[in-house]
């Protein structure tokens, strides 16, 4: 099923398609991750968002991708963020449209990020953060070789958990 999807770098021309993707999945995403500011959900907000990501990409600290279906619609996003080529480390993040879940796209996106981290950025460590109630993301991370770090304190019911992968 993943053959009908592609991962590519985010482009400035993605403004309207990204706004549609984010707006259609807003409630779904907010049930799993922190909410974006309401001002994000506008052409101006998404334009500013993309410009920031592309500026950070040009500086070598962020690598943003989108996942498209066979019709060219954005159905997911994946990012390497906080890239540190000296420490050879970055954080990964991804989000998949509710309608596209269960098709292996998060795993596909994460595998793509791991490959880019190795080949383009020469990184050796990746981290991800996930809320305990987000069982799907935990399974994807574990499937891709990420290991959970022990919780630092006992009051972690709502705190994000950190997962690490050595590559």
- Decide: helix, strand or coil at residue 156: coil
Please say whether the beta carbons of 90 and 104 come within 8 A: no
When pLDDT is averaged across residues 46-56 and rounded to a whole number, the result is 98
Provide the pLDDT confidence category of residue 154 given band limits of 50, 70 and 90.
low
Provide the pLDDT confidence category of residue 134 given band limits of 50, 70 and 90.
confident
Domains of the chain are 2-166 (3.40.630.30)
What mean pLDDT is reported for the chain? 93
Rounded distance between C-alpha atoms, residue 10 and residue 43, angstroms? 16
Please say whether the beta carbons of 126 and 113 come within 8 A: yes
Rounded distance between C-alpha atoms, residue 150 and residue 45, angstroms? 37
Q: What is the pLDDT of residue 155?
A: 59
Per-residue pLDDT tens over the stretch 103-115: 999 999 999 999 9
Q: Residue 151 pLDDT > 80, yes or no?
A: no
């Amino acid at each position: 099923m993943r053959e009908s999807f592609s991962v590519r770098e985010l482009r400035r021309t993605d403004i309207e398609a990204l706004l549609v993707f984010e707006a259609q999945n807003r409630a779904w995403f907010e049930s799993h991750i922190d909410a974006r500011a309401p001002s994000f959900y506008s052409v101006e907000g998404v334009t500013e968002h993309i410009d920031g990501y592309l500026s950070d990409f040009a500086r070598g600290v962020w690598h943003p991708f989108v996942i498209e279906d066979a019709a060219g619609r954005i159905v997911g996003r994946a990012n390497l963020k906080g890239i540190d080529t000296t420490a050879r480390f970055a954080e990964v993040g991804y989000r998949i449209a509710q309608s596209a879940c269960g098709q292996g796209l998060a795993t596909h996106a994460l595998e793509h990020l791991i490959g880019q981290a190795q080949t383009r950025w020469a990184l050796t460590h990746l981290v991800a953060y996930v809320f305990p109630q987000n069982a799907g993301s935990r399974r994807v991370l574990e499937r891709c070789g990420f290991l959970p770090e022990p919780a630092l304190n006992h009051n972690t019911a709502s705190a994000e958990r950190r997962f690490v992968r050595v590559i």
